[in-house]
Structure 1
Amino acid sequence: MDNAGEQEFGVPPQAAPPQPPHRPQPPRPEFAATPLRPAPTDAPPRALTVVRSAWIGSFAVLIGIGAATALELTAVRDALESALSAERPGTAHRDIADTVSVTLLGCASAAALLLVAGLICLHLLSGRRSAARLALAVVGLVSVAAAIVFWSLMVDAGEASGGVLEWAPLVYAGLVIIGVAALFAPGMSRWLRH
């Protein structure tokens, strides 16, 4: 039944319940929460400094290897040709010279590619691209393998370069290993996620 029907039968309409007086809200108690973890900061982690330093150091060593080889190129070529002639006495001198040329050119090309790839990956890592970490790790593994191959190829020309070709490739590989290991420090993961 509606209100009109109630009035017809003599039932008075129901009045709305009275509204309680408006009460102001009580003041809120002081509340402070201590976070379980420290809030992430935007500051780069120390591991990033290690990564950059190790890679930049490896680039400097790589450039030094190239400079030492270029400055003593004739002596390096002669040493490599002599070693190859001793290993293969029946091979023509022209073939040995071509093999040495191809080896040196291949090593220089690989070094240039690794240098450029490393610089690009470092730049992307500074921009917090998480894929750059994996790419730089791959470049690092290839760099270490290339350094070991280069060292084994140039061991006969070590004295011709003043010893640089004997130890510098190993220093380069060591710096790259440090740079790759620092990529996976816990601070790096947190920094790349934020």
Structure 2
Amino acid sequence: MKNLIDEIVQKTAQGWLGKWLRLSQMVHAIFWLSALSAVIFLPVFRYVENSNERHRLDAELSLQQQEWEKQEKILQTLRQKSDSRQLSPELANSVLPINQHVQALLNGRLQALDLRWDFSQHTLLHLSLQGYFADLQQFLTALLRDIPKLSLTQLNIEKLDEEENASITCELIFQLNKDK
């Protein structure tokens, strides 16, 4: 039995375990620190990934809430005007497709800072946009071509930077002509 144990100890000393045991304590410490660091790093990495994803989703949710609030304001204005009998069903039916068409034409190139309707004396669409002049030109051309009932009554453009291709903000007021 003693020979068997001596033989096992001898083979172990010659095998990988023996080689491992003969290494210095510094190598053992580096190995265990590396292994422990790898085990600890994985949850930290997942936490950072999840945190970044959460921030991205929060930003996306915020943008969707802003868009929803804009649509809610438009709907609220339409309801108020409808309740006060200033807004006929025909006018409401023509305003909603115009809103949808304006949103489709913006297509992410121009940012709508404000989009609202004024039904006081005339039916007016107030738009505040931010983007580049070339995109504004394409937007206006397409909007006035596609919706002949709209006529541009006021246009204010302000350049944000002094660069040649700088972005702009613009205030637009359109009048909805009921007779066209």
Relative to the length of structure 2, the TM-score reads: 0.28
Bigger share in strand: 2
Q: Please tell me whether Structure 1 or Structure 2 has the larger radius of gyration of its CA atoms.
A: 1
- Asked which structure has the greater RCO (Cα within 8 Å, sep 6+), the reply is 1
Relative to the length of structure 1, the TM-score reads: 0.26
Bigger share in helix: 1
